[in-house]
Homo-oligomer: A and B are copies of this chain.
Amino acid sequence: MTRPLKDQEAQALLQAGTVARLGCVSDGEAYVVPINYVFDAGFVFSHSLPGKKVDALRTHPRACLQIDQIESDTEWRSVIAYGTYEEIHSPVERGAILNKLLSRFPRLTPVEAVAVHDAAAPETVVFRLRVDAITGVAED
């Protein structure tokens, strides 16, 4: 049967994960995409090329991040973190966040690797989610 995760278990899963599904609201409908992320000190850090996800989050900044570890149909845990989208514009902060992402994901795409070396380049959108709630459930 399913059980709620303890706060500590939910935080640990959020910390350990590298792929999350980001849900946001686009034109009144849910929109879900996979993202790479780093969770650190209450923030989820990520980056994106401009597009539907960024447009949606700029318009409707509340987001839902879902992360899971699925061993089988009957052995899994899943965490949801709710947060608010904040876009990072300062070149210093952009560089620091892109470096944090690069150290976790060494194989960023070319456009993003360039952005690490020139964080003032506007192409890559750097953002964080200010997380205000984390919940989790497990079946094990």
Contacts and interface: CB of A to CB of B under 8 A. Distances in A.
Interface residues on A, range: 35 or more
State how many copies of this chain the complex holds. Answer: 2
A66 interface: yes
A32 B23 contact: yes
A34 B73 contact: no
A90 interface: no
22 contacts: A18-B73, A21-B21, A21-B23, A21-B32, A21-B66, A23-B23, A23-B30, A24-B30, A25-B29, A25-B30, A29-B64, A29-B82, A30-B30, A30-B31, A30-B32, A31-B64, A31-B80, A32-B65, A33-B80, A34-B70, A73-B105, A74-B107
Interface of A: 1, 18-19, 21-25, 28-34, 36, 62-66, 68, 70, 72-74, 76, 78, 80, 82, 105, 107-109, 139
